[in-house]
Amino acid sequence: MTTADIGLIGLAVMGSNLALNIAEKGYTIAVNNRSPARIDEFVTMAKEQGLAGKVIPKADLAEFVQAVSRPRSIIIMVKAGAPVDAMIEQLLPHLEQGDAIIECGNSLFTDTQRRFDYLKPKGIGYLGAGVSGGEEGARHGPSIMVGGSKEQWHNAEDVLTAIAAKFNGESCCAYLGEGGAGHFVKTIHNGIEYGDMQMIAEVYGVMRDGLGMAPQACADVFKEWNRGPLNSYLIEITGHVLAAIDEPTGKPLVELILDKAGQKGTGVWSAIAAQQMGVPATAIEGAVAARSISSRKDERIAAEKIYGKRSAGKADVTLADLEQALLAGKIVSYAQGFAVIAKASDENGWKLPLSTIAKIWRAGCIIRSRFLDQMAAAYAKGDNANLLIVPDFVTLMKENHGALRKVVAAGAVGEFPLICLSAALSYFDSYRQAQGTANLIQGQRDFFGAHGFEIEGRGKDLHGEWPSTLGN
Ligand SMILES: NC(=O)C1=CN([C@@H]2O[C@H](COP(=O)(O)OP(=O)(O)OC[C@H]3O[C@@H](n4cnc5c(N)ncnc54)[C@H](OP(=O)(O)O)[C@@H]3O)[C@@H](O)[C@H]2O)C=CC1
Ligand SMILES: O=C(CO)[C@H](O)[C@H](O)COP(=O)(O)O
C-alpha cells in the first residue's frame, strides 16, 4: 500500500493550497475533509495541476490516518477555535505514540499551549504553526512560524521547510519554541500587519482628502514608493487595490467599497497580550481601535451630522513627507511588536530568536518587506534591545521622525484621523523622554489611595502630606 509522507485535514482555501504545495514539492500527501465534496473538488484541482499521483484522498478518518507513514505528521487546517478541539478528539483514537498533529490555523496561542499540554502525556506531539501569506502564499510558499513538540518538529521539518517561501535561498520556516510559541509569533505578525495596513490607510486618507488625489494618482505614488525604503508586499498590493476599476460602473473600485473593516481576532489578541505583559504596543492598539471605529458606520454618519464635515483645506504636507512618515511609523510599530515578542519569550521561557523571526518574515508572509532584512541583521548582532535604540534604526528615526511629526500635526489641524501614526509618534516621544510626567500621576495616586511614591536617595514607599479636605 502506498503510504503518505504527511496527512492534511481541512481542504478549504488554505488547506487545499498547502496540500498542492506539498504535493508539488514531491511529497505524497493523504487528504481528508469533513464534507467529502471538498475532497472531490481537491482531487480535480490536483489532477488539473498534474499532481494527482502524489495525493491519497481518504474520506474515512481511520483510513486517512492509516494512509500516513509513521511516525505520523498530520496537519489540521480547519476553522480556528472549537473545530480544532473537535478534530483533535476525533483523531486521537486513531493516533499512536510518537505521532504528531500540526495545527496550522490562526489559533489563539493559549489554546495551542493547552492542546500541547493535553497531548504531551498521551505521547502525541502537538505543533502549533502559524502560516502567513494567504491563498497565494499557501500554494507557492508561505512563512511558517512553528512552535510545540521539538522532537516531532524534526519529523516534519523537511516538508515544512521545503514548502515555505525562500529569501536568498533561506527557507522562511523555523521552529521557534515550545508550546504556543509559533502561534504567539503569528499573532504578533498579524498585529504588526494591522499596524502597517492602518498606517497605509491613514496616508491614503491624507492623499485623498488633504491633497485631493484620485485613486489612480495615489496608486502611482504607492507604486513608486515600492521601489524605495518602503518596499513591501502591503505597499505593492495597495497600489493594485487603488488602481482597480469596477467593471459595471467604470469607477475606481476602492471608492465603492464600504469603509467598514473586518477583523477575525488576531489584532485584538496581540493588543491584549501586549497589555497583559505591560509592553506598550500603541500602534497595534490604534490599528485595532481604528477597525472598530470603522465598523460603527451608523454612529459616524450621525456624528458627522452633529459636527459637520471636515472644513479644513489642503494639507500642508508633501508626498515625500508622507513616505518618510510612513517609514518612521512602521519602525515604531515593529519596535513595539518585537518588544512584545521579547517579553513573551522571557515570561514563557520560549527563548524566541528575534533575528530568526525577522528572517522568516522576509518572504512569504503578508508583512514581508525590505526593511525586515535590516531588522534581521540588527537582531543577529546580539541583544534584544528595542529597535529604537539599535544604531541602524536610530539613524533612520533621526532622518524620518520630523516628517512623521509634520504629518501628524497636519492631521490634527486638517481634521484627518491618524490614530495609528499619531500613536506611533507619541510612543516615540514618550520613549525618548528621560523626564516624563508620571511623577504627577504618582502624586495623584498617593493623594487618593496612599499608594506611595519614590524619591531618589530617600526611599520607595514615601507619602505626601496631602490636605484632608478639599474645596477651598
Ligand atoms: N484565509 C486566509 O487567508 C488565512 C487563513 N488562516 C487560517 O487558516 C485556517 C483555515 O482557513 P481557511 O482555509 O480560510 O478555512 P476556514 O477558516 O473557512 O475553515 C474551513 C475549513 O474548516 C473545516 N471545518 C469547520 N468546522 C469544522 C469542524 N467542526 N470539524 C471539522 N472541520 C471543520 C471546514 O470543513 P467543511 O468543508 O466540512 O465545512 C473547512 O475545511 C483558519 O484558522 C484561518 O484563520 C491563516 C492564514 C491566512
Ligand atoms: O492571518 C492572516 C494573514 O496573515 C489572515 O488573512 C487573517 O484573516 C487576517 O486577519 P483579519 O481577518 O483579522 O484582518
Report residue 227 CA to chain centroid gap: 23
Domains 6-179 and 191-431 share a fold: no
Report residue 374 CA to chain centroid gap: 19
**Ranges of the chain with pLDDT below 70:** 1-2, 472
Nearest CA to ligand 2 atom 11: 263
Among all chains, which residue has been given the C-alpha cell 488633504? 210
> Any idea which ligand is nearest the CA of 194?
2
Q: Residue 30: which H helix or E strand, with range?
A: strand 29-32
Q: Which amino acid is at 187?
A: T
- Whether 38 is in the pocket of ligand 1, judged by its Cβ within 6 Å, is yes
Contact 363, 167 (CB under 8 A): yes
pLDDT confidence of residue 468: 86
**Domain boundaries 191-431, corresponding CATH code:** 1.10.1040.10
Q: Residue 303, CB half-sphere, CA atoms under 13 Å: how many? A: 8
Provide the 10 A C-beta neighbour count for residue 227: 9
- Residue 344's nearest CA partner among 221, 187, 461, 229 is 187
Nearest CA to ligand 2 atom 14: 263
- Whether 144 is in the pocket of ligand 1, judged by its Cβ within 6 Å, is no
The set of catalytic residues is 186, 193
Helix (H, G, I), strand (E, B) or coil at 279: coil
- Whether 196 is in the pocket of ligand 2, judged by its Cβ within 6 Å, is no
Provide the 10 A C-beta neighbour count for residue 63: 13
* DSSP E strand boundaries for 85-227: 100-103, 125-132, 143-148, 166-167, 170-171, 173-177
Per-residue cell: 234: 502591503
pLDDT confidence of residue 393: 94
Buried b (16+ CB within 10 A) or exposed e, 160-192: bbbbbbebeebbbbbbbbbbbbbbbbbbbbbbb
CA of 76 to the centre of ligand 1 (A): 9
Give how far Cα 403 sits from Cα of 45, 115, 224, 397, Å.
50, 47, 18, 10
- Helices (DSSP H) in 79-125: which residue ranges? 82-91, 109-119
Atom in ligand 2 nearest the alpha carbon of residue 265? 13
Among 35, 38, 76, 79, name the best residue to mutate to test ligand 1's pocket (greatest count of ligand atoms within 8 A of Cβ): 79
pLDDT confidence of residue 2: 66
Q: Residue 454: which H helix or E strand, with range?
A: strand 453-455
At 2-49, the pLDDT tens digits run: 699 999 999 999 999 999 999 999 999 999 999 999 999 999 999 999
> Any idea which ligand is nearest the CA of 107?
1
Provide the 10 A C-beta neighbour count for residue 308: 8
At 315-335, the pLDDT tens digits run: 999 999 999 999 999 999 999
Distance CA 260, CA 298 (A): 11
Per-residue cell: 277: 505583559
- Whether 193 is in the pocket of ligand 2, judged by its Cβ within 6 Å, is yes
Domain ranges in the chain are: 6-179, 191-431
Atom in ligand 2 nearest the alpha carbon of residue 132? 4
Distance CA 338, CA 403 (A): 23
CA of 335 to the centre of ligand 1 (A): 31
CA of 264 to the centre of ligand 2 (A): 7
Torsion, CA 20, CA 177, CA 113, CA 145, rounded to 10: -30
Per-residue cell: 415: 481634521
> Any idea which ligand is nearest the CA of 366?
2
ipTM value: 0.97
pLDDT confidence of residue 249: 98
pLDDT confidence of residue 1: 61
**Domain boundaries 6-179, corresponding CATH code:** 3.40.50.720
Length of the chain: 472
